[in-house]
Structure 1
Amino acid sequence: MTTTYKWTIERYHQAIDAGLFDDQPVELLRGAIVVMPPERETHAYYNSEVGDYLRTILGNSVKIREAHPITLPNDSEPVPDLAIVKPLGAIYLEHHPYPDDIFWLIEFSNTTLSKDLNEKKAVYSQAGIAEYWVVNLTGRKVSVFRDLENECYVTEETFTTGVVSPQFFPDVQIQVKRLMN
């Protein structure tokens, strides 16, 4: 029988502060430290471009965090590609955004599609993240997950064209093509 060590967020932060992961990008998912794959040009491009696009559309009503951690109650501190969060200013000096601070999350998937559609989706829904988008860069589509029931998303919509409006900003229309072009 194999026993694995489950990390708490507190111990994970202590390890980070001690420099344990300085040479390796990692994230904490359900108490497990997960090594993040190196970010290639395509992924970096979309992350940056879509972050800028959303800043233009949403203005000062949100803070767009690119590839920065969020802190979740299920011993998880993932690093979503984009976190659209409340603009709480210096509060984020004290802690990363919590679920109540998050409007929605976006992951760009080139080689991590299975992880983003399964493990990360489950972590986000169980933590109470109201809305989660996966931009499938290879399949050229956007999957939008919403409507939490029993810690699971019950609504999934797939877009290849048109517009999508975030749940917290129903009057905002985001061009689907701008998420992939």
Structure 2
Amino acid sequence: MISTAPTQVLTNIWIIGSWEEFVNLANNQEYEGGKFYYDQKYLKIEMPPIGSSHSQDNHIISNIISLYATVKNIRIKGLTNCSFRQPNVREFQPDLAFYIGDEFNFPPRNNSPVNLSEFNPPNLVIEFGATSLNDDLGRKRLLYDRAGIQEYWVVDVNSNDIIAFSISEGRSGTITESLVLPKLAISLVETALKRSQTKDDGAINRWLLQIFS
């Protein structure tokens, strides 16, 4: 039997709740700034403090992917902290998401979640984890398996390690080289993260451009 999500919910943990309860919480100003996830009658609101390490890693990886796509002439559209909603089924709000390739349509510019009944899910999603790392590798990974994401990266901001998964037919397996960004080695992205701890963005960009070219 499904229990009812309380009016004041515990954040940063998964609780049982209906889709209607989830949407009401997502529209509640008390949780403004939170990240919202829903899958198979479980919901989660994340209200994590965002420190410098999380923000810097987010910026560097977004930059790496954009530079790589630019040099390799790959069509791409990136979104930061965007919500993706399949009504009555699931919702997710990854730290980074990318539409990649020649086939995608641009999602609309508005303040509503991207409707996955009208648009395909992004090809690549990325989560940055410190305290949330186990969940990123666990329930969220299953959520993205079921959502039809092609590739999922989990970044451990404490160690600068990246665990990357390729997803096909609802199953995921680890990879060492991106498939949606062909021939981009995950180890190179990890190296860039480590270099960014002592180098400025311009130095990282120049180094990457030499490698990508």
TM-score range, shorter chain: 0.7 to 0.9
Q: How much is the aligned-residue C-alpha RMSD, in angstroms?
A: 3.0
Alignment partner of 1:55 is 2:66: yes
How many residue pairs are counted as aligned between the two chains? 171
Question: Can you give the 5+ residue segments of structure 1 that lack an aligned partner in the other structure?
Answer: none
Deviation at 1:138, TM superposition (A): 2.3
Alignment partner of 1:40 is 2:40: no
Change (3 A) 1:40 1:148: same
In structure 2, how many angstroms separate the alpha carbons of the residues matched to 1:113 and 1:65?
21
Contact map agreement 1:47 1:66 (CA 8 A) in 2: no
Alignment equivalent of 2:146, drawn from 105, 122, 126: 126
1:20-46 CA distance string (max 9 Å, x none): 633x51402214442212222211111
Contact map agreement 1:48 1:66 (CA 8 A) in 2: no
Aligned identity (percent) is 22
TM-score by length of 1: 0.75
Matches for 1:1-80 after TM superposition, within 5 Å: 3-5=3-5, 6-8=17-19, 12-13=22-23, 16-17=26-27, 19=29, 21-22=31-32, 25-30=34-39, 31-36=41-46, 37-59=48-70, 61-72=75-86, 75-80=89-94
Report the AA paired with residue 127 of structure 1: A
Matches for 1:26-175 after TM superposition, within 5 Å: 26-30=35-39, 31-36=41-46, 37-59=48-70, 61-72=75-86, 75-86=89-100, 88-89=105-106, 91-93=108-110, 95-96=113-114, 98=116, 100-149=120-169, 151-153=170-172, 155-157=173-175, 164=177, 166-172=178-184, 175=188
In structure 2, how many angstroms separate the alpha carbons of the residues matched to 1:128 and 1:145?
12
Deviation at 1:15, TM superposition (A): 5.0
Change (3 A) 1:90 1:140: closer
* Bigger Rg, structure 1 or 2: 2
Deviation at 1:104, TM superposition (A): 0.9
Report the AA paired with residue 148 of structure 1: S
Contact map agreement 2:125 2:151 (CA 8 A) in 1: yes
Report the AA paired with residue 156 of structure 1: T
Report the AA paired with residue 143 of structure 1: I
- Partner SS, residue 53 of structure 1: helix
